[in-house]
A and B are shown apart, each in its own frame.
Chain A
Amino acid sequence: MDFRLTDDQRALVRGIRDLLGRRFGPDALRAAAGADGAGELDRGLWRELGAAGFFALRLPEDAGGVGLGLPEAALLFEEAGRALLPGPLVATHLAAGRVPGAAEGTAVVTRADGGLVEWLDAADVVLGVGDGVTPRPLRSVDPLTPLHRLAYARLDTGDVPDAHEASLLTAAEQLGSAGRTTALAVAHARVREQFGRPIGSFQAVKQLCAHMLVRTEVARAAVYAAAVTADPVEIAGARLLADEAAAECARDCLQVHGGMGFTWEAEVHLHLKRAWVRAARGLGGAVAEEAVAESLAATP
């Protein structure tokens, strides 16, 4: 048993982190969120992701894919979450090999999930929205995720074949976001001075940051393990902890930033809003808790 990342996995993470750093760093993120056209998807970046194997990662090599597995996909989605990369990433990744162009990043695929559809207008293909259903646009809380609401709410998406994988990849994005807001809070606490000293030397701030790390690391162990086992109950548990880590770390990060944290300029509100959007995807929250509880009662 060696749970740590392999050298290949580390290299994969470095590669995608470099790509995202170059193409969608913090400045690009803020610019995207501030632009009037927020809601436009960067098709160039989408194709670059496709070329880098982001969507085709798990397709077999003879089908033009990279031939890697769920653990590697989770690592990539963690990086996407860290960078707060916009777009229906999970839906397109899951559509690779099934919807033409999805694997290559030439098609944008979205799908109904948890009663919502992300990026409906920008998508080439929309899955899971039946005929005669007219999705109603919402004024999305997240400036970088346009949302439509379906008239019917399908809470239990357990019958969708890849619902568990979708939930796991969402959890990985949440994990990346939690790691990012923890790092942002720590970096700020080191340099921001009040009362003649860095605020990070004050215990109240210090303990907030430590708590953020604990939440993130516990969620990380859960998400990585769930990616290895692909066990539906373990995925549900990981999702629960990752949803919570993303939302709570973003809140604490905002607190550590003080008034500056409440501005549009600071990156942190975008993390909190996206964490809320992701948490609304199917198989999170109450559904996950019930699934884990059921398994507890069932084991002898």
Chain B
Amino acid sequence: MELDYSAEEEEFRARLRHWLGTELPKLPARPDPLDWPARRAYDCGWQRRLYDAGYGHVHWDGSPTRRLIFLEETERAGAPYVGAGFVGLLHAGPTIAAEGTPEQRERWLEPVLRGDAVWCQGFSEPEAGSDLASLRTRAVRDGDAYVVTGHKIWTSHAEIADWCELLVRTDPDAPKHRGISWLAMPMDAPGITVRPLRTLAGTAEFAEVFLDEVRVPVANRVGAENDGWRVTLVTLSFERGTAFVGEVVACRRVLGELARTARKNGRWDDPVLRRRLGRLGAEFQALWRLIQWNVSEAAATGAVPGTGGSVFKLSYSHARQELYDAAAAVLGPDALDLGREWPRDRLSSLSYTIAAGTSQIQRNIVAERVLGLPKGR
């Protein structure tokens, strides 16, 4: 039980810190958060710099501990986060790394790491959200391609993506978990229509995706035909277990800023608010320790992150919402100003208990898969 970093890891930290110090001043101004093409260019440009400096692989291909150091240091320095690279770098990429053939890894991973390819996630459908395995989008084999027809929804970044990790039904007669396949679909293929949806934050960050006889080569299937559910669980475990790690670092920084802002604007004199911030401080500190615990487990077993990810996701998603509620308490009347960052983040925090599997679904997973309680209603 130790939390020390090795000399080699400390050296990695020092080198990275130095590199960030010279590189960040060279970055262009951040784009308008509503301008997705500009955001894509900005996020990919940053990923390219990381790649050129040898940090491109850090999210999945190196030591998990180095990844934690990377997240700590980039956040501390105020560097950009993965942004448009979220799906490619944090769950499609790791899935292909774990489940793809050598050719597939060769073909798809480098572009993600170089900041040349953006991915989106086509899992959810209008009739299949929490019950993801009931998805209906059909893929019918025709020679060396699947012909895909269906309707995906809530697809984040669909408008600016090059590739989509797509779940399709390849055997309509099999039990629902058995007839699914995991495909990599090029987003410029004929037959794809993307219709942006407006979120409650007023932004268009996700979309509906209509698929009308889209041809996807059979070679783009990751894992065996009809074995896609197993591959999906790998993707979900990355999405829930590791994809939010960097955000915890960011939340801890925000919490410190909240406390100092409250000191300046006089809200600090309210002991109820102070104690609320203290409580959140304890929670985010514990979440960071829980990440270190999960990383240690994963590093020791060499496995994809397990159900520990659900425990983490559950507590993190609620803590994040409480954080931005506390931010509103600190801001007072300014909390209603959407020109400010914290009120906007407060709105977006509302999605965290829904996206990547709702809290109710996560609790069912914890109860059944970790605690071994019987399946049922």
Chain A residues packing against B (C-beta within 8 Å) = 1-6, 9, 71, 186, 189-190, 197-198, 200-203, 205-207, 209-211, 213-214, 217-222, 224-225, 227-229, 234, 236-238, 240-241, 286, 288-297, 299
Contacts and interface: CB of A to CB of B under 8 A. Distances in A.
Contact of A228 (B2, B297, B374, B376): B2
Given A4-B300, A5-B1, A292-B281, A297 B360 contact: no
Interface of B: 1-6, 9, 65, 68, 255-256, 258-260, 262-263, 268, 271, 274-275, 277-279, 281-283, 285-287, 289-290, 292-293, 295-297, 299-300, 308, 311, 314-315, 360, 362-364, 366-368, 370-377
Nearest to A237: B282
Which of A198, A228, A237, A286: most chain B CB closer than 10 A? A237
B373 A238 contact: no
Contacts of A3: 1-3, 289, 292-293, 295-296
Contacts of A219: 286
B372 A186 contact: yes
**Chain B contact surface mostly:** helix
Contact of A218 (B3, B263, B315, B366): B315
A213 B371 contact: yes
Contacts of A236: 282
Contacts of B372: 186, 190
B286 A237 contact: yes
A237 B281 contact: yes
A221 B367 CA distance: 20
A2 B376 contact: no
Contact of A4 (B275, B278, B297): B297
A3 B311 CA distance: 17
Contacts of B362: 210
A295 B367 CA distance: 36
B323 to A, nearest CB: 12
Given A186-B371, A222-B289, 17 more contacts: A4-B293, A71-B1, A206-B364, A206-B373, A207-B360, A207-B367, A218-B283, A218-B311, A219-B286, A221-B290, A227-B1, A229-B3, A237-B283, A292-B281, A293-B275, A296-B277, A297-B260
B260 A222 contact: no
B278 A213 contact: no
Nearest to B9: A1
A288 B282 contact: yes
A290 B373 contact: no
B367 A296 contact: no
30 contacts: A1-B2, A1-B292, A1-B296, A2-B299, A3-B296, A4-B1, A186-B372, A190-B373, A197-B376, A198-B374, A201-B374, A202-B376, A206-B373, A207-B367, A209-B373, A210-B314, A217-B311, A219-B286, A221-B287, A224-B1, A227-B1, A228-B3, A240-B278, A286-B275, A289-B274, A290-B275, A292-B277, A292-B282, A296-B255, A296-B281
B3 to A, nearest CB: 5
Contacts, number: 181
Contact of B263 (A9, A205, A297): A297
A123 B377 CA distance: 52
A213 B311 CA distance: 8
Contacts of A209: 367, 371, 373
A6 B300 CA distance: 12
Contacts of A240: 278-279, 282
A214 B366 contact: yes
B364 A214 contact: no
B291 to A, nearest CB: 8
A224 B308 CA distance: 16
Nearest to B273: A293
A293 B275 CA distance: 7
B277 A238 contact: no
Contacts of B376: 197-198, 200-203
Nearest to A295: B281
Given A186-B372, A206-B363, A290-B275, A241 B282 contact: yes
Contact of A241 (B255, B259, B283): B283
A130 B68 CA distance: 50
Given A289-B279, A290-B274, A296-B256, A210 B363 contact: yes
A234 B283 CA distance: 10
B240 to A, nearest CB: 13
Nearest first, the 6 closest Cβ-Cβ pairs linking A and B are A201-B376, A237-B282, A293-B278, A289-B278, A222-B286, A296-B259
Contacts of B282: 222, 236-238, 240-241, 288-289, 292
Contacts of A290: 271, 274-275, 278
Contacts of B255: 296
B370 A213 contact: yes
Which of A5, A186, A206: most chain B CB closer than 10 A? A206
